[in-house]
Amino acid sequence: MGKTKQLKMQILQHYFSIRDNLATLKLVYDSFSELINPNFGDGSIEKLNDKLFSDIREAVLLLPRKFKLNLHIVIRDFGDYTKEECENIIRQNVFLTAYRVFKENRRKLLSGFSLIGAGAAILVVSYLLREHELWFDLINISGTLFVWEGVNMAFLERNLENRATRALARSIRNITIEGEQEETVCAQP
């Protein structure tokens, strides 16, 4: 193993328990209520704020691709929630996050195609005004920028986000939740 790989492993071992290609990260929260966004929804299911998912994304980004991630979530005080309710809330929020990513990707695709269409129309207008050199150049540049931004939004950004989401989904092997003094229970996303 090269010096660079050894250094990377030493750094990662400060944050993760690593065995073979499996890394375990322990996330500790004082209370489950610190993960809840109290201003969202009608109360039938709690929505988590971005704190837990931000921590998970950061952990996935730190690990090399070959590693699978076990998340061990310790909640010191469940408060008004039972462990089963917490597991259900986390599971439902994983589905909600996946739905949000799907909606954002669809919106970007539609916005991208709208920009491409507008850019194509502007390029046609620039072609019609090609006798007026200044107008032709300005409109041509504007149309090209619209098309470029549309292609970027519809294809490049969406593709990068889809890859990041798939990498996140593939990286997480399982999630365990426990209270500070309790036995471990597994919650599959």
pLDDT tens-place string over residues 88-131: 888 888 888 878 888 888 888 899 899 999 999 988 888 888 78
pTM above 0.85, yes or no: no
Give residue-wise pLDDT tens across range 123-181.
888 888 878 877 788 888 888 998 999 888 888 877 777 666 666 666 666 777 777 65
Work out the angle at residue 27's Cα, subtended by the Cα atoms of residues 22 and 38, and round it to the nearest 5 degrees. Answer: 135
| Beta strand pairing call for 17-19 and 36-37 | unpaired
Domain boundaries along the sequence of the chain: 3-187
Give residue-wise pLDDT tens across range 43-63.
667 788 888 888 888 887 777
